[in-house]
Chain A
C-alpha cells in the first residue's frame, strides 16, 4: 500500500463513457460452478465421499468373517450366497439411518455457511440475482446428493461382487434371479433411492435458509428422518405412513419380484416431489424477502 499513491496512478481504472455491461448476462450456471468449486475445497465434502467409497469394502470384509448373517434386514440372510445381496442390504440399512445425514451434511450447510462467514453481502452485491444464487446452491446440493448415492452404490456393488461373487440372487418371490438381471435390478434399486434423497436435500436446504445455522441444518433432517422412521416402525396410522419421506426409500422392494409392483415407486415419487416443492418454495421465499442486516 505504501507505494500505491505515486507508482500506480497509471493503473487506476478510468471511468468509461458508458456503463459497460458484464460480458454476457451472468448465468446461474456460472454461480453453480463456483458453488461446486467451493464444495470441493471443503474437507467435509471430500471426507464424506471418501467414506462412501471405502466403508462398504470394510463392511463386506467384516461380514465375510462372520458366520452369522444379519437376518433382520431384507437380503441379509443371503450375503454369503450372492454378492448382489450386499448392496441391497446396505441400501435397506443406509436408507433407515444414514441417507438424510449424507445429504444434509452439505445441503444443511450450503446456505447457513454464508451467514456464518458473513458473505451474503459479498456475493449478493455482484451481478447475480438472489434467485440465481438460490438455484445455484440448491442444484449444487442436489449434485452432491447424486454423487453420494452414485459413489456409495458403485462401491457397495463392487465390494459385493469382488469379495463375495456374482452368484444368482434369491429374489422376493422365492425364485433365483440370474446374475445379469440381478445386477441391473440392484442398480435400479439404488437409483430409486435418489428420489426421496432429493426430498431430504430440499428439507435440509429449507432448514439451512430458515435457521441460518449450520448445525441445525445438518442435524435437522437427520432428526426428522429418525422420527419418521420411528413412526413407521411403531406401526402407526397407515395413511400417515404413506406421506412420510422415509417410506419411498423402501419402494424398490417391488422391483425384486417376479411380477414387480411399482405402486410404492409412483407414490414415493409424488410424495418426494411434494416435499421438494414445498420446502424449496419456503426456502426461496424466505431468502428472497430477507433483509441482510448482518455480515
Chain B
C-alpha cells in the first residue's frame, strides 16, 4: 500500500502543473474588448448592411468595398481607457454613399463581455427604423440598429 499514495501524489502534482500552465493560455492576455477590435468589426459590418439598405432603396450594385468605411471608436467614460464591455461606446463612422459622397455619422454601441454588440445609428444620416423600399413595402432599415460579434480570444 505504501507506494500507491506517493504515485498518486506525483500524478496529481503533474496534472496540477499542466493545468497551471494551461490557464494563462486559456485566460489570454489583455482585455477582450479593445478599441482595435471594435473598429475592425463595425466598419465592414456597417458597409455590408449599408449595401443592403441601398439595394432595398432601389440602388443595387453598390459594392461593400466602394463604401470604404472608416471608424474611430472610444468610450465616453474616461476611466475605462477605451477598453472593456460597456454601454458607453461611441463610434464615428465615415463612408462613401452610392453617389460617392462622403458621409459621417455617430453610432452608439452597447458591447457585451463576449464580444457581441448592438449598434444604433443617427436617423438623420442613415434613416429611421423603418424605410419605404423601392417595391413600396415598408421594411426594417437594416442599418438603423444592428448586431455583430467579434473574436475575443
Give A81's nearest chain B residue, CB to CB. Answer: B140
Q: Produce 1/0 per residue, B55-78, CB < 8 A to A.
A: 000000000000000000000000
Q: Which of B100-123 contact A (CB under 8 A)?
A: 113-116, 118
State whether A241 touches B149 (Cβ < 8 A): no
* Distance between B61 CB and nearest chain A CB, rounded to angstroms: 15
With CB as the reference atom, state the residue of chain A lying closest to B49.
A174
Instruction: Say yes or no: A253 contacts B32, CB within 8 Å.
Output: no
Judged by a CB distance under 8 angstroms, whether A18 is at the interface is no
Chain A 160-179: CB-based contact to B (< 8 A → 1; otherwise 0) = 00000000001011111000
User: In the complex where A77-B147, A243-B23, A263-B153 touch, is A170 in contact with B113 (Cβ < 8 A)?
Assistant: no
Instruction: List B contacts of A233 (CB < 8 A).
Output: 113
User: What per-residue 1/0 map shows which CB atoms of A228-239 lie under 8 Å from chain B?
Assistant: 000011010011
**Across-interface contacts of A175 in B (CB, < 8 A):** 48, 52
CA distance A235 to B111 in the complex (A): 10
A side interface size, CB within 8 A: 35
Q: How far is the CA of A202 from the CA of B37 in the complex (A)?
A: 35
- Selected interface stretch from A4-12, A36-44, A52-60, A264-272: A264-272
Interface pair B145/A174, CB less than 8 Å apart: no
Question: A238-B28, A250-B114 are known contacts. Are A71 and B19 too (CB-CB below 8 A)?
Answer: no
What CA separation (Å) do A100 and B88 show in the bound complex?
A: 32
Which residues of B are found within 8 Å of A235, using beta-carbon distances? 84-86, 113
Question: What is the CA–CA distance of A235 and B48 in the complex, to the nearest angstrom?
Answer: 30
Q: Which residues on the A side are within 8 Å of B146 (C-beta)?
A: 174
- Please count how many residues in chain B sit with their CB below 8 Å of the partner chain's CB atoms: 35
Interface of B is mostly: mixed
How near does chain A come to B36, taking the closest CB pair, in angstroms? 15
Contact of B148 among A172, A239, A241, A271 (CB under 8 A): A172
When distances are taken between beta carbons in the complex, the residues of chain B under 8 Å from A267 are 26, 153
Please tell me if the beta carbons of B151 and A172 are within 8 angstroms of each other in the complex: no
Mask of B3-44 contacts with A, CB within 8 angstroms, 1/0: 000000000000000010011101110011000000000001
Q: Are A174 and B44 in contact (CB under 8 A)?
A: yes
Q: Which residues of chain A come closer than 8 Å to B84, judged between CB atoms?
A: 235
Is the CB–CB distance between B45 and A271 below 8 Å?
A: no
Q: Footprint of B on A, CB under 8 Å?
A: 71, 74-75, 77, 81, 170, 172-176, 232-233, 235, 238-243, 247, 250, 253-254, 256-258, 261, 263-264, 266-267, 270-271, 274
Closest 5 CB pairs of A and B: A174-B48, A263-B153, A239-B27, A261-B151, A174-B49
A-B contact pairs, 17 of them (CB 8 A): A75-B147, A81-B140, A173-B44, A174-B45, A235-B86, A238-B28, A239-B24, A241-B32, A241-B113, A242-B27, A242-B28, A242-B153, A253-B114, A253-B116, A254-B151, A257-B149, A261-B153
Given contacts A71-B145, A174-B142, A253-B115, 5 further A-B contacts (CB under 8 A): A81-B140, A235-B84, A242-B27, A242-B153, A247-B114
